[in-house]
Structure 1
Amino acid sequence: MFVRIVKMSFHPKHITEFLILFEEKKEFIRSSDGCKLLELYQDKTNPEIFFTYSYWESENDLENYRNSNLFKTVWAQTKTFFNDKPEAWSVDKKVSLY
């Protein structure tokens, strides 16, 4: 299993729209093959910055999701809200805190 972290920065006027979109689509994303967790975080010092954390069974599962119509539709809309280029990392989870 690995973790995908995506950092996104939004124009303040689009934050509510993004949150509505995320709320509408999160269960569809979570039900994608191989997706074990999807969470959204907002930076404490800069409310324009958000992070998604998603856990995937395999890199192939993430790639299949990224090639899906769901991703293409959600990402096309989401990127219209950005005020900076998004950043993404795929990392292996090494230690569980629980």
Structure 2
Amino acid sequence: MITIVAKNTVNKDYIHEFIKLTSKLIEESRKENGCKMYHLYQDNNNKNILTFIEKWENEESIRIHNESIHFKKIVPKLNRIQEKDTEVNLYKEIE
């Protein structure tokens, strides 16, 4: 199992647009083989920080996800309304 934590710092004027765009991404990603969990969270202390926390069965399922039509269509739109690049970390479950 691999957990992805993808932290996005969104321009304050585009938070609602970011959340709206992610709804389709989340819906389609949850249907993918190997997706065990896919959620978006908003930081309690800084509303501009929106973080995806995802759980995937293996690296192959992540690779397929990153090549999916919905990912390739939506993620570039999300990137345009962020203040800086997404910080993405992958974690392997050890216990």
Aligned residues: 95
Q: What is aligned with 2:71?
A: 71
- 1:40 pairs with 2:40: yes
TM-score (ref. length: structure 1)? 0.90
Question: Alpha-carbon deviation of 1:24?
Answer: 3.0
- Output the aligned Cα RMSD: 1.1
Gaps of 5+ in 1: none
Alpha-carbon distance between aligned partners in 1 of 2:43 and 2:3, rounded to the nearest angstrom: 19
Query: How is 1:5-84 mapped onto 2 (pairs within 5 angstroms)?
Result: 5-84=5-84
Check whether the contact 2:25–2:71 (CA below 8 A) recurs between aligned residues.
no
TM-score (ref. length: structure 2)? 0.93
* 3-state secondary structure, aligned to 2:71: helix
Structure 1 segments, 4+ long, off by >6 Å, are none
Alpha-carbon distance between aligned partners in 1 of 2:88 and 2:56, rounded to the nearest angstrom: 14
Q: What is the identity percentage for the equivalent residue pairs of Structure 1 and Structure 2?
A: 25
